[in-house]
Chain A
Amino acid sequence: MSRPSAGNRKSTAGRSIKGEYIETDTGNKVSRRAKIEGTPNIMLAGRTVIMADVHLRGDLHRTADSATSSSNTTISMGKYTVIATGCTIHPPSRLSRGIMHFYPVKIGDHVYIGPECHVSSISIASHVHIGPRCVLGPFSIVKENVRILDGAVVPQGMVIPPGVVVGGSPARVVGEVPEGWGASGRAGETVEGGELRELVRSIRG
């Protein structure tokens, strides 16, 4: 199995401290209470936070028989991405000729996924803020600077264009994020859509 850099991978052998979170060498903070399956298939870029009761389905890789193929990363997450409590990240699947094919989930940098969300998107770009209790349907694509309001249900295959506010069930574009979105953060503060550095830093084991 080849991988760009082994250090980028979440490793349980990293510097671990007693407490809620296990912190890896690259600064990933993973809750001890998170349920992570298929660990080798999950790629965290570093300084990613995975909170308690998060369920990462890394075991759902492309096909059952292609496990030996070179690229079977199922979930990849960018830097300073926070997955709040009770979320499920479930790679989307498509039934084709009687075989279930799973497709990888890609999550960008500075993405906040609120508590109790179900994410089956194919890609989530950077600086996305997802409110609590959202459902992101299979194969949905979320572009940059998007805000998804609480409890939105994004239907299957929906493409959310950059810079919009989405809400409702089924989710539709309800507005646009202001120009200053994510830019109002001062030192020591975290705003929606902005850099999540401080939020990540504030989470301690």
Chain B
Amino acid sequence: MALPFPYTYFACPCTETTSFSSTTDPYSTEPAGGAAEDEESTFHSQSPRANYALYPLEHLLYCEDCHQIRCPRCWVEEIMTWYCPSCLFEYANSMVKSDGNRCTRSCFNCPLCMSNLSIVGQNEETDKAQEGSHPLDKGQQATGPYFLHCPYCSWSSVEIGIQFDKGKEIYDQLQRIKNGGRVVMSQKDKEREQLKLRRQVSRGSISQFEEPETPKATEKESYPPDDRDLFANLNAFYKSQILESTGGSALGGAFGALSDYGISSPGTLSRIMSMYGSNLGPKRGKDKPAPMREAQSEMEGVRLTKDNDEEKIVESMQQMGWDATTSQEQRREHPDNMDATLVSDLRPVPTLLRTKRSKRCRTCRHILVRPEPKVASTRYKIRLLALNYIPSLRLRPLTAPAALGTGTPTSSVTASSIASSVSLDAIPPARSLSLLLTVHNPLFDPIKVTLATPSLTPPLRPNAPASRSRVTILCPQFEVGASGDVWDEALDVGAKESREKSIKDAAAALESNASGQKQAEAGKVWERGRNWTSVVLEVLPGVVNSPVPTARFAGEDANVLEIPLYVRIEYETETGPGEGASAVERAAGGIKERKEQRELEYWCVLGVGRIAQTA
């Protein structure tokens, strides 16, 4: 997902397998001349693998039992409800199992453009309009025959010769109609017919198998059976074969030589079993079931290709041109359409169902997210969002207080400290840039934050050391106050003082800004609020040359300045029954809980912007 600059992505700790244990000293990655041996252990924001580890904070969850961030890779999903996205009808699990994962009511998608099809009556309100009824109701009165119509591309089921008598239960009606309007037999009729045929065959001689010239088969010739029929036939055939072979029918034995070596035949299976199972072997060998033969006719599920089949297709393609052929996407949309070469072979696609899912932690199996099962409800019973547990980071540019780089000093220093003029889509290379990083604390306990970053960002392109940007965090260690109600703070005297102080600081900052004096100092936070602290980052962007035509790495992100940032937070929190106690109670000291020290560490990637490319 492309977010606008500046963005922050969080790396789920599940991606670090061995490189990071809790014992890793965060300072090992501190800018100390760029220790080469530590380079490997830092998060490589440019590696292709990083794409799978980074998420915006909203996408992440937090497991309260593991005290860890959870990403889509480390949670498991459980389907709670199936529903049709178009009619919002809930499907029971059993229905999905029996009828498949598509809407079996009247929801269809256009086979050409995949937008929703609407059911349109051909003769709209013929004579049923009554005077008394509201005009709104009259609009709905359309009478059959009905057809499906795409409001986006104007495709209609009339084009493939399908019309419906009723405006409801289109799915069932469509099942019975082939393209071109031919009505197919229902499954029951088919089975009955099959049974009749088979009886005829079994009563007759073997020669009938080789020449299935029954009247029914010739009738079918004009319409080749579709995949579903073939599968049904094949299924029925094998069922009957199993029945015959286990029943010890003499008929099955006659074909033993033909199919004994077929891989899937039970004869082969029993032979293999006798090979490996020594105790079973000799006994089984004697009453070995009669092997089955393979399907031979269309009735038995074999698709017979005729010589002119393909020629016909080529011919029609030649006649109708490119537009009449289906795209791969259209064919992939539904199994019915997979063999469709021409647009006229496509069938309307029943809408795929969607699901509501709950999420569990993969490690401890605790539920992280549990929505209400109803489709219409958007509330959650349980929702443990990472953004309620881990501090969020916001980045914004700050006008360079003084040009540290070689470039000319910034031309206009605005009164406000936020540089609206700095375009993050074209950051001037090799010119110092100051960024303000604000850390917000969502927890009800004050946290100690330690930030670390590799002194040089990973190279944007292989073999381009100049493209590495130098990053310095002026104040890598600081505290962020607790979150909570705004009123808690007003009640708390100490906090009030600090607040006043911060206001004073801010005022002073504003004053100094007005005169363009405020300098970012090393080891000092820039600004501090109730539950947030901002520090200054200094970046010396690398130089990025214009993309080399041959380089396959020079994609669209080849000039994005991204800073890997390691965040470690430490805080003390109460455990046990007092966990839910409000900050007021805690401040009053009414409840004495056991304090627990917790720490959390993770990598982030700060996307600053694009470095302007030099020719």
* A interface with B by C-beta (< 8 Å): 62-63, 66, 94, 96-97, 99, 101, 103, 137, 143-145, 153, 155-164, 170-173, 178-181, 183-184, 186
Contacts and interface: CB of A to CB of B under 8 A. Distances in A.
Given A103-B136, A178-B58, 9 more contacts: A96-B138, A155-B115, A156-B152, A162-B376, A180-B385, A183-B58, A183-B388, A186-B392, A186-B440
Nearest to B114: A172
Contacts of B135: 62-63, 66, 96, 99, 101
A159 B376 contact: no
B402 to A, nearest CB: 29
SS class, residues of chain B in contact with chain A: mixed
Contacts of A163: 378
Contacts of B27: none
Contact of B139 (A94, A158, A162): A94
A170 B387 contact: no
A157 B151 contact: yes
Given A97-B125, A164-B85, A179-B385, A158 B58 contact: no
A156 B532 CA distance: 46
Interface in B289-318: none
Contact of A162 (B378, B386, B532): B378
B125 A96 contact: yes
A156 B58 contact: no
Contacts of A156: 118, 151-152
B369 interface: yes
Contacts of B139: 94, 96, 101
B387 A161 contact: no
Contacts of B386: 180
A161 B88 contact: yes
B59 to A, nearest CB: 4
B364 interface: no
Nearest to A103: B136
Nearest to B107: A159
Given A96-B124, A161-B354, A164-B85, A183 B115 contact: no
B370 to A, nearest CB: 10
B115 A170 contact: yes
Contact of B61 (A94, A96, A179): A179
Nearest to A176: B354
Contacts of B380: 179
A184 B240 CA distance: 62
Contacts of B57: 180, 184
B422 interface: no
Nearest to A153: B152
The 5 closest A-B pairs by CB, nearest first: A180-B58, A156-B151, A170-B115, A155-B152, A155-B115
B375 A180 contact: no
Query: B383, B387, B388 — which one has the most chain A CB atoms within 10 A of its CB?
Result: B387
Contact of A157 (B116, B440, B532): B116
Nearest to B116: A158
A172 B354 contact: no
Contacts of A157: 116, 118, 151
A161 B138 contact: no
Given A159-B87, A184-B387, A97 B114 contact: no
Contact of A159 (B88, B124, B359, B440): B88
A63 B359 CA distance: 49
Nearest to A177: B58
Given A157-B118, A178-B56, A144 B129 contact: no
B392 A180 contact: no
A183 B151 contact: no
Contacts of B270: none
B210 to A, nearest CB: 51
Nearest to B83: A161
A179 B383 contact: yes
Query: A62, A96, A160 — which one has the most chain B CB atoms within 10 A of its CB?
Result: A96
B113 interface: yes
A64 to B, nearest CB: 10
Contacts of B61: 179
A151 to B, nearest CB: 14
B86 interface: yes
Interface in B378-408: 378, 380, 383, 385-388, 392
Nearest to A186: B440
Contacts of B59: 178-180
